């Protein structure tokens, strides 16, 4: 059960009424937090109850470590406690997520020196959300270690902070100093914020169900048979994947943030229009903001300040390499991370220089180049391995004699979506980016939409709801030209797999 499940919204509606009428009262704070914890654990258990033990163990360990860190003065003991927390949390992550990657790498290394010994692979299911909540809980212990925050004594507050259901599965990764205080106070129902939250949830659902699920059919079909793609279809697959990934993850985050806001909690923004960014560094300052801030604050800033440019490059590549690996256990993810680090080091100075020296138009060229490079790097992100990525890149060189001949049009329609599904998809993409453009450059107009006439908001809410119903890809809907018998996984959120 998750945001894409109707039952979740029925359950949330019931809990919402209970929360605001009974639970969220001054003398019921503990009960409220306990109810949030139970609901969060039920939510997690609905995915796979077997892994509840891991999140519980992690929470208990870090709760105790946090308290001990506050009361321990000895520096070595404090280091040991921190090491214990990081070791256990990363240990869980390593076993479930990276074991086979390490084994494969070791196998390749052993084979290269002539040792042919078969190592043990594990076929364990990855506990959903593990990459997110382990990093969230580690950030707590690190902050307590650094004495940036005091540990929380209330176990229910702490456990709920780790397992808070709106952000449990795929973030945003919240810092303790931002979220824990919100569990320690009673919230006031703000009607304006609640209405904004509903609109935000619908907007997120629109991006996910209408756009991301739709494009997933096209992209999955393209990636399943890269050798069949022409140049034009390869470009479309690449671009559509970027949009699919953005709409999928930002749509999830919108629903998470909106859901939390309905209960009075403010979560961090995780996306601020990254596709309108002016250079690559800004793309990653606006894309999955919380994870990149995590790597910046807990890895990059902890490295020795670089004295040379070379050392700075190494630091950047190290952090991006680790960020790449966080997303997935495979050389293709590592490659993706490193590639983006390189792009920042090489292209960003060019863009910034062009922007300073020349006109805005001159700065556009390296900017477009930068965005194209980021999109191309995502081929590694989406591919199963490096060979698969290579097949996709080869498609870029298969151009027919004329770009828009009938063969190319037929090829596009062979990728699972019908003509009208593609056209409506393009229309909705234009709508999303138009809204983002206004959010970026005409913030006052967006604010006036929220502050002004309620009829506009009413109309938009109904329009979004009906769009999701009539244009959404749900209930196992396949595209008009979908030919595969294999089950299409477009309904699962992409980042839940991390």
Partner 1 sequence: MNNTHFKTFCRDISLGLITIITLLFLCNVSGVFDYGEISSKPKQMWHSLAQKDSVNTAQIIFSGNSQSIFLNPLILDSITKKSSRFFGSFGAQIEGISWFFSNSWDYLDPELLVLETHSLDSMYPTIIDSIRYARWENDYPHFNTFTPSFNYIPWSKNKFPSFSSLFDTYKFEFTYLVTGPVIKNHHLFETHPEYFIEALFPPKNNKLKGFRESWCLPISNSLLQDYNNDWIPAPDMPINPKKFQIIESIIKICKAKGIKVLLYESPMYFKHIKPQKKRQKQLDSFCQRLNTPFINLNLNPSLTRTPAYFESTRGINQHLTIAGANAVSKALALAIVEQTSLLKAKPINQNYKKVRD
Note the residues at the interface with partner 1 (CB under 8 A): 17, 20-21, 24-25, 188-191, 194-195, 198, 225, 228, 410, 413-414, 418, 420-421, 424, 458, 461-462, 465-466, 469-472, 475, 477, 480-481, 483-485
- What minimum distance in Å lies between the beta carbon of 197 and partner 1? 10
CA–CA dist 254, 247 (Å, integer): 10
**Toward partner 1, which CB reaches closer, 112 or 486?**
486
- Give me the torsion for CA of 398, 400, 405, 411, rounded to 10°: -30
At closest approach, how far in Å is the CB of 441 from partner 1?
A: 30
Residue 146 CB, nearest distance to partner 1 (Å)? 37
Q: Which of 187/293 has CB closer to partner 1? A: 187
Closer residue to partner 1 in complex, CB, 24/136: 24
Give which of 47, 48, 79 is closest to 65, Cα–Cα: 79
Contact 250, 270 (CB under 8 A): yes
Shortest approach of partner 1 to residue 440 CB, angstroms? 29
Which CB sits closer to partner 1, 330 or 472? 472
Among 345, 346, 341, 365, CA closest to 355: 365
Residue 459 beta carbon to partner 1: minimum distance, rounded to whole angstroms: 11
Nearer to partner 1, 87 or 459 (CB): 459
CB 163 within 8 A of CB 44: yes
Residues 6+ apart with CB under 8 A from 395: 226, 227, 229, 230, 231, 233, 234, 237
Closest CA to 338 of 373, 286, 366: 373
Q: Nearer Cβ to partner 1, position 195 or 312?
A: 195
Cβ-Cβ contacts under 8 Å for 183 (sequence gap 6 or more): 33, 36, 154, 157, 160, 161
Which residue's entry shows tokens 């100075």? 349
In the bound state with partner 1, the residue whose beta carbon lies nearer, of 39 and 209, is 209
Give CA separation, 337 vs 34, 319, 397, 443, in Å. 40, 8, 24, 32
Nearest alpha-carbon partner for 146 in 297, 35, 12: 297
CB of 250 to partner 1, least distance (A): 23
Cβ neighbours of residue 443 closer than 8 Å, sequence gap 6 or more = none
Closest CB 174 distance from partner 1, rounded Å? 24
């Amino acid at each position: 059960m998750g945001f894409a499940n109707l039952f979740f919204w029925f359950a949330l509606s019931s809990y919402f009424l209970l929360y605001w009428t009974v639970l969220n009262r001054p003398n019921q704070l503990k009960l409220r937090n306990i109810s949030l914890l139970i609901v969060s654990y039920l939510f997690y258990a609905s995915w796979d109850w077997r892994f509840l033990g891991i999140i519980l163990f992690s929470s208990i360990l870090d709760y105790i470590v946090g308290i001990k860190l506050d009361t321990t003065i000895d520096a070595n003991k404090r280091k040991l406690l921190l090491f214990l927390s990081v070791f256990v949390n990363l240990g869980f992550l390593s076993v479930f997520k990276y074991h086979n990657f390490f084994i494969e790498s070791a196998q390749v290394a052993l084979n290269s020196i002539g040792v042919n010994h078969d190592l043990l692979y594990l076929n364990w299911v990855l506990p959903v959300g593990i990459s997110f909540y382990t990093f969230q809980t580690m950030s707590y212990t690190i902050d307590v270690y650094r004495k940036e925050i005091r540990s929380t004594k209330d176990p229910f507050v702490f456990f709920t902070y780790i397992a808070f259901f709106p952000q449990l599965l795929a973030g945003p990764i919240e810092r303790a100093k931002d979220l824990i205080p919100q569990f320690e106070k009673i919230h006031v129902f703000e009607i304006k914020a609640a209405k904004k939250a509903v609109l935000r949830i619908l907007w997120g659902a629109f991006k996910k169900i209408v756009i991301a699920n739709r494009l997933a059919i096209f992209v999955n079909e393209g990636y399943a048979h890269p050798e069949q793609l022409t140049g034009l279809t390869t470009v479309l697959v690449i671009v559509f994947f970027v949009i699919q990934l953005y709409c999928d993850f930002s749509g999830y985050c919108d629903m998470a943030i909106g859901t939390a806001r309905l209960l009075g909690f403010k979560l961090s923004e995780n996306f601020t229009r990254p596709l309108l960014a002016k250079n690559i560094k800004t793309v990653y300052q606006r894309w999955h903001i919380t994870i990149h801030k995590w790597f910046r604050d807990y890895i990059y800033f902890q490295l020795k300040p670089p004295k040379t440019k070379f050392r700075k490059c190494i630091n950047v590549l190290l952090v991006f390499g680790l960020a790449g690996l966080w997303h997935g256990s495979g050389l293709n993810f590592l490659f993706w991370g490193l590639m983006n680090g390189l792009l920042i080091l090489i292209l960003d100075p060019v863009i910034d220089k062009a922007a300073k020296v020349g006109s805005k138009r001159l700065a556009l060229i390296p900017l477009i180049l930068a965005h194209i490079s980021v999109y191309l790097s995502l081929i590694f992100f989406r591919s199963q391995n490096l060979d698969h990525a290579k097949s996709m890149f080869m498609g870029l060189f298969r151009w027919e004699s004329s770009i828009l001949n009938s063969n190319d049009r037929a090829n596009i329609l062979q990728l699972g979506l019908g003509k009208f599904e593609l056209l409506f998809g393009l229309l909705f993409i234009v709508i999303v980016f138009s809204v983002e453009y206004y959010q970026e450059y005409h913030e006052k107009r967006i604010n006036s939409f929220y502050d002004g006439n309620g009829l506009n908001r009413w109309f938009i809410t109904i329009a979004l709801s009906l769009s999701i119903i009539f244009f959404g890809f749900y209930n196992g809907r396949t595209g008009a030209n979908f030919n595969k018998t294999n089950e299409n996984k477009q309904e699962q959120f992409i980042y839940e797999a991390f």
